[in-house]
Amino acid sequence: MALDQANGYVAPSNLAEPSDASLPIFDVQQVQLQFPVASDFVAAQVANNVLILALATGRILRIDLDSPADIDDIDLPKKPAEIGLIRRLFLDPSASHLLISTTLGENYYLHTESRQPKSLSRLKGVSIESVAWNSSLPTASTREILIGATDGNVYEAYIEPSAEFYRREERYVTNVYRAPDAPVTGIFAESLAGKPDQRYVLLSTPTKLLVFAGHIGRHSGGSVYAELFQRGSPAVHEVAKSPRPAPSSLKISPQPDDHRLEGQPAPERWFAWLSSQGILRGSLDPAPDDPALWLDHAQMLPRSMFPATESARGGKKLIQDPITAMTLTQWHVLALVEGRVVAVNALSGEIVHDQKVLEPGQNALGLLTDRTKNTFWLFTPHEIFEIVTHDEDRDIWQIFLKEQRFDEAFQYARDAAQKDAIATASGDDLASKGRFLEAAVVWGKSSKSFEEVCLTLIDKGESDALRKYLLTKLATHKKSAIMQRTMITSWLVEVYMAKLNALDDMVATRAELAEGVSQDQSKEQLKAVRAEFQDFITKYKSDIDQKTAYDIISSHGREEELLYFATAVNDYSFVLSYWIQREKWTEALQVLQKQTDPEAFYKYSTVLMANAATGLVDILMRQTNLDPEKLIPAMLSYNSTVNVSLRENQAVRYLNFIIANHPRPPAAVHNALISIYASSPSSSEAALLTYLESQDPPQYDVDFALRLCIQHERVESCVHIYSSMGQYLQAVELALRHDNIELAAIVADRPEGNDKLRKKLWLLVAEKKIRQPGTGIKDAIEFLRRCELLRIEDLIPFFPDFVVIDDFKDEICNALEEYSRHIDTLRQEMDNSARTASQIRAEIAALDSRYAIVEPGEKCWLCSLPLLSRQFFVFPCQHAFHSDCLGKEVVEGAGGKKRYIRDLQAQLSNESTTAEKREKIVRELDSIIAEACVLCGDHGIKQIEKPFVTADDDVDEWRV
């Protein structure tokens, strides 16, 4: 049951999930409702889950199917005897507006928020047969609507509810058209897609279906449809008039269901016209510029296709009744035929459902569609049925497939099997038309045999289609299918190489192709295929077997593609080896600068340093993950093969860069640089000395550096190294051995704070300087004055025996004068010392006669008791203390001496201590205790942080 008193109405979610295929697409179910009155239904309408029922008593029931227990019971303003019975109800799709038409031509309007129908006086006498509601609903008013009458007239009305008693509900009512045949059994109006100022109108009569399209007028208090009907001539579909009355109606398919599957497009919109010949159904999507095409493409479902029972009457077989009612679902036409609900697929025209619902002779009020909620209803004077759909579009894909509408079929396919069947059929169809490129893409997404497709494309010579197929098939395989992906990628590499070679041949021959492709077109195609190959490599490089790819590409001689592939898979070693073997140093460096693997630098640094040193060093200086020690062999090999100055030497440049920028350069780097500097053919040691002087402390191997410098006779460098090792004597001796007296003098001044060593070193320098041929006595003495430690008597032994004293008479005189001044200074210091000693002796003698006066009432400065009560000490500052008080105070602040004082006290109290030793201990204790006044000396300064009032003191004594 779709309706329940407790839970309310639940719309079937037939498109939310695929349902069981064993269920029928349609199922007619009776709905049970409890009505407040007992009466027959004379009319019914349903929209937006709201059910409107008109009773034979003239009352109207309004039921919200979401809460069916709440039923609004509405009475017309007058009794049926005055206005007639209700013959028709017209409810807009939003269930906001209701028109009520009676058998005596009275018409009423009821708004959804009102319980009082209002009479439409301007429509008095008009027997309403159909209504075209405004597509902009819901609104507070109906806005402009079209009303079809039984007399063939079409009215435009604008109904606006009003609370004022004397104000009419209808703003205006205008007759805009008269149909060529009466009555107007159906009418529908809507705006053209994307053109709000243009509308189309479908209007049906028993024998004609008319389609109007065009511009509408503007709102100015009058009609907007008049211009549409007056200016345009309608497209007409006409059928022969039936000899007996036949039902006629016009239906439009409901709005697309919001619960359709994700990615599924909205279904087409349909119209259906019931006439005496059958049901004419056609598509409204997309709206063409000429809506008359809708009629041209429409198809008739003849009445004969609907199965009807036959009965014998007078020996003749007559069809008893025609189709009595009809409505549309999203994909089917529902018809009521002799009490049976028959469903016909709107696409294929096939009957998909036939279910008996009514008993023979039982009448029906009609088939109705809730176009908003996509539900379908059958009403009789006593019963209500809902036609429930189960997965209505489940077979739509098959219909599209039969019609070879593959795109639409694919959109409505539900599972992989359905999509695969569509793809296979679509690919076969494209191949039959010679469109192999498109077929290859479609086949690649299907389960069609891989071997069959490949052989077909190879037999047809469609190499491009084969490439497309392999690419598509590769994209469908999962990452786990390693074997399949590897095989396909390897085949694709072969296919690409063959294609590129063929295009190269076409360009090289400068000949027109058999297909009429020019050379320029061939070049463009070559460029496009090469770009496609590169994209393929970039995307699927992880699936390609490198060795196989190298072999295939190399066998075709495709150098550019070979290098691109190696670069794409980060096989820089291969690329580097390739360029180096061909001595393309610039290209090799371009590859190397993109490399991050240190092993590549170590492997190729030697050959690149020999042939492109500057560029390589530029690259090496930008790398931060290299071990400089592993590059030293390349640097030394380069240094041994080139003959350039140290300024241009790239090994020196790199090693200096490492020393300056590396946080902890290895000692091997320093040693390598020293080796290059020392072995340089240049006689200048400036670069080596500059380096050595910058190393403080030395980071290089000192012994190694010294051996190299000695081996290559780098004297100044050796001297610097000896000096840095503190071996000044060896440094000076080496400098003097090579007659470099100035350098020896500089080194001799370096032992600061060691005058003895300095003098020794300067004596060596002096000896070399004095005995140097061509050196004058005065020049030698002037040079040696740079050291203040040298005396003339130190230098005399170095002079030759034949030197005349007159040559350094002045120096001797100056030395004697200096000795005399020094003797006078010593004598004066001795006199001062003697006077100081005499003064000290006198002060010591005066200590024996020093005294201090103690007044009779003077107190101890520590305990405040009379001082003369026991033994005491008096200091020159006039502070006096009892000896025991002073001893206690000194012990408390004695610090490190406290233990020593206690030891002395313990020895003093020991009875075994002799009198002589006791007297000695007493003197020592007295000297310690009376060393200084505890108030004026260091002890008093240390007591500055001691509080005036301690925890042991009586605080009350300090109160004021």
Q: Write out pLDDT tens, residues 356-395.
A: 998 888 888 889 999 888 899 999 998 899 999 888 878 8
In this prediction, residues 512-541 reach a mean pLDDT of 78
Per-position b or e across 71-107, b if 16+ CB within 10 A of its CB: beebebeeebeebebbbbbbbbbbbbbbbbbbeebbb
- Tell whether the model's pLDDT for residue 123 goes beyond 70: yes
Domains of the chain: 32-299 (2.40.128.630), 394-422 (no CATH), 634-725 (no CATH), 867-950 (no CATH)
558 vs 544: CA distance, rounded Å: 17
217 vs 230: CA distance, rounded Å: 11
Amino acid making up residue 378 = L
The pLDDT of residue 848 is 66
Per the prediction, the chain carries an average pLDDT of 81
- Tell whether the model's pLDDT for residue 746 goes beyond 80: no
| C-alpha dist (Å) from residue 571 to 550, 564, 580 | 11, 10, 15
Q: Write out pLDDT tens, residues 663-675.
A: 888 889 888 988 8
**CB count, 10 Å around CB of 903?**
11
Residue indicated by tokens 């503007």: 218
847-849-852 Cα angle (round to 5): 95
Helix (H, G, I), strand (E, B) or coil at 42: strand
Backbone angles phi, psi at 744, to 5 degrees: -65, -40
Minimum mean pLDDT range among 409-413, 533-537, 879-883: 409-413
The pLDDT of residue 4 is 46
| C-alpha dist (Å) from residue 959 to 671, 949, 955, 956 | 84, 12, 7, 5
Q: How confident is the model at residue 514 (pLDDT cuts 50, 70, 90)?
A: very low
> In this structure, what token pair is assigned to residue 267?
């279904």
Q: Write out pLDDT tens, residues 696-728.
A: 788 888 888 888 888 888 888 888 888 888 777
732 vs 740: CA distance, rounded Å: 9
DSSP 112: T
Comparison of pLDDT for 701 and 801, the residue scoring more: 701
DSSP-derived secondary structure for 121-153: GGGTT--EEEEE--TT-S-SS--EEEEEETTSE
522 vs 38: CA distance, rounded Å: 87
Q: How confident is the model at residue 44 (pLDDT cuts 50, 70, 90)?
A: very high
> In this structure, what token pair is assigned to residue 742?
């100035």
In this prediction, residues 550-573 reach a mean pLDDT of 86
Amino acid making up residue 214 = G
In this prediction, residues 158-187 reach a mean pLDDT of 82
Q: Write out pLDDT tens, residues 409-448.
A: 778 777 778 887 878 787 777 778 888 888 888 888 887 8
Listed residue (135, 134, 97) closest to 118, CA to CA: 97
**CB count, 10 Å around CB of 957?**
7
Pairing of strands 144-149, 128-132: antiparallel
Helix ranges (DSSP H) in 847-882 = none
- The residue length of the chain stands at 960
Strands (E), 284-372: 299-302, 310-313, 316-319, 323-328, 332-337, 340-345, 351-356, 366-370
Could you give the dihedral angle defined by the CA atoms of residues 159, 161, 167 and 171, in that order, rounded to the nearest 10 degrees?
Answer: -20
> In this structure, what token pair is assigned to residue 792?
């003339």
Amino acid making up residue 50 = V
Beta carbons of 322 and 312 less than 8 angstroms apart: no
Percent of the chain with pLDDT over 90: 15
pTM: 0.56
